Structure 1
Amino acid sequence: MKTIKIPLTIEKGEREILWGRVEYNQNLLTDFAGNVSELEQKIKNLLWEFEEVHPESVEFEHQFDISALFQRFNFLKISTIAEHAGMNPGLLRQYVSGAKNPSLEQAKKIEITLHRLAAELQKVAIVV
């Protein structure tokens, strides 16, 4: 079975709910859930129901808004990420809370910082 990679946009809703959306064959499919795994399953079910795309053939490429990103990866410290990105921690907290929306430039700065930190972590070796 051939794997189909589909971008899944994940946004934070009210009360820790995550909203997800995919576009497939020019159709927009949306749903909500309490966590990413549940959201993926619900979207896969919609893809099967409306597009006859077999759930096992779908691999999602996650695209998070800032609030959903910090909800999903809640072990990330906002102040530390802001420091590494050269940003004001208070401003990043406002982005995470939804009080303000980042510009495309600010969002890219955060994304690049996260990717750089992840690359550093991939080089780590633990010895015993």
Structure 2
Amino acid sequence: MQVLPLIIEKADGALWGRVAYDDNLLVDSAPTLDELRVNMKTLLQEFHDLHDIEFTYAYDLSAFFEQYAYLKVSKIAEYAGMNATLLRHYSAGSKQPSPEQVKRIEDAVHRLALELSSVQLVAA
């Protein structure tokens, strides 16, 4: 099985994906992540005869907050130690974060995920 990074961005109301393979950059768009995944696998099959493909995912902030819409932007901002309004601008694509800001947000998401992974629930 071949595992490749799929970079996902949101633009013009669609999700755009790109995969670099063998000095080629394959790009396509789709309305959903599932459709984008299928499109990218099809391109890799057609151009490189790859059939057993899995992806790791890297998102821009707009695509991330669309894909994980159930996350509260204000809570992620709190974990990142930043202004929630600014993070809303980043998630809407109306402002662009610096690489350092993106790293702060990514670290906050990872901390939140780690915290949630240690939660234990009991029946009442």
- TM (norm. structure 1) is 0.93
Quick check: 1:103 aligned with 2:98?
yes
2 CA distance for matches of 1:50 and 1:112?
36
- Alpha-carbon offset, residue 107 of structure 1: 0.2
2 CA distance for matches of 1:82 and 1:22?
29
Partner SS for 1:108: helix
- Alpha-carbon offset, residue 60 of structure 1: 0.4
For 1:6, the equivalent position in structure 2 comes to 4
The aligned amino acid for 1:71 is: E
2 CA distance for matches of 1:35 and 1:26?
26
Which residue of the other structure, out of 57, 63, 83, is the alignment partner of 1:68?
Answer: 63
1 CA distance for matches of 2:2 and 2:117?
27
Partner SS for 1:76: coil
What is the CA deviation profile of residues 37-92 of structure 1, one whole-angstrom value per residue up to 9, with x for unaligned ones? 110010000000000000xx111010000000000000011111101110011111
C-alpha RMSD of matched pairs (Å): 0.7
For 2:50, the equivalent position in structure 1 comes to 53
Q: Which runs of 5+ in 2 are unaligned?
A: none
For 2:40, the equivalent position in structure 1 comes to 43
Percent identical across equivalent pairs?
Answer: 50
Partner SS for 2:97: coil
Which residue of the other structure, out of 12, 17, 21, is the alignment partner of 1:20?
Answer: 17
How many corresponding residue pairs? 123
The aligned amino acid for 1:34 is: P
For 2:112, the equivalent position in structure 1 comes to 117
The aligned amino acid for 1:111 is: E
Runs of 4+ with >4 A deviation:
none
